[in-house]
C-alpha cells in the first residue's frame, strides 16, 4: 500500500469543463472533512470526492448523476493501491454535458493521472506492543528497541521492573518476540497493546 509524500494536483479540460483533482494524505474522517472544506470554490459546479483510510472509505457525487464521480475517484485510489488518502475533484462546468460514461471517465481519469504523478511513500504496517521486563534486563531491552527501530510511546516502572508501550514494524514482530525472550532469559513479556 502507498500514501502520498506530499499533496498533489492535476488539471484537465474535457469538452470545455475544467476538472481539478487535488489529493492529500488524511488519517481520519475529520481531516478529510477539513480538506474538503479547504478546497471549496463558490465558482465550481461540483466538489466530488472519495477517501480511503484503512477499512474506512466514503465518496460523494456532489450532485452529479449517481455513481459517475465519487465511485470512479475511489476506484482510482484503490486501483493504484493508495491508503490514508483523500482526492477531491473540483469541476467547473463548460456547457457541454458528458453523459454518464463521459463523467466516469473524466473523474476517474483525472484522479488516476493525479495519483500517477504524485510522490508516493510505502505504508509499512506497524503494531503497538506492551513489553515488560525485570530491572536486570532493561539494558538488553533498550538495545533491542534500537536494533528493531522501535518507537517508545511510554514507560512505567514498578517494584518488579518496567512496562513499555512501543511501536514496531509488523513484519518484525516474531523476531522481536524471540529476541526479547532470549535477552531476558524468558522473563520478558510481549503483548499486543
CA distances to 27, 68, 167, 185 from 129, rounded to whole Å, are 21, 43, 6, 19
Chain Cα centroid distance, residue 176 = 25
Instruction: Identify the H or E element spanning 12.
Output: strand 8-14
Integer Cα distance of 73 and 110 in angstroms: 9
| Whole-angstrom distance, CA of residue 110 vs CA of residue 120 | 17
Look at residue 193 and tell me whether its pLDDT is greater than 90: no
| Domains present along the chain, CATH in parentheses | 2-122 (3.30.230.30), 126-192 (3.30.70.240)
Q: What is the CA radius of gyration of the chain?
A: 23
pTM of the complete model: 0.79
Render pLDDT for 19-53 as a digit per residue (tens, 0 to 9): 999 999 999 999 999 999 999 999 999 999 999 99
**Span 153-158, mean pLDDT?**
96
Cell of 100: 454518464
Amino acid at each position: 500500500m502507498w500514501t502520498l509524500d506530499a499533496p498533489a494536483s492535476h488539471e484537465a479540460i474535457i469538452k470545455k469543463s475544467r476538472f481539478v483533482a487535488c489529493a492529500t494524505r488524511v488519517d481520519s474522517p475529520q481531516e478529510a472533512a477539513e480538506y474538503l472544506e479547504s478546497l471549496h470554490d463558490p465558482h465550481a459546479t461540483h466538489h466530488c470526492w472519495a477517501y480511503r483510510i484503512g477499512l474506512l472509505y466514503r465518496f460523494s457525487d456532489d450532485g452529479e448523476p449517481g455513481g459517475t464521480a465519487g465511485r470512479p475517484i475511489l476506484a482510482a485510489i484503490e486501483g493504484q493501491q493508495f491508503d490514508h488518502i483523500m482526492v477531491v475533484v473540483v469541476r467547473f462546468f463548460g456547457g457541454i454535458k458528458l453523459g454518464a460514461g463521459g463523467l466516469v471517465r473524466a473523474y476517474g481519469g483525472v484522479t488516476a493521472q493525479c495519483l500517477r504523478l504524485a510522490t508516493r511513500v510505502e505504508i509499512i504496517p506497524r503494531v503497538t506492543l506492551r513489553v515488560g521486563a525485570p530491572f536486570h534486563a532493561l539494558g538488553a531491552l533498550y538495545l533491542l528497541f534500537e536494533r528493531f527501530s522501535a518507537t517508545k510511546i511510554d514507560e512505567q516502572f514498578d517494584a518488579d521492573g518496567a512496562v513499555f508501550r512501543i511501536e514496531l514494524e509488523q513484519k518484525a514482530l516474531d523476531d522481536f518476540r524471540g529476541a526479547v525472550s532470549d535477552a531476558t532469559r524468558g522473563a520478558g513479556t510481549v503483548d499486543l497493546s
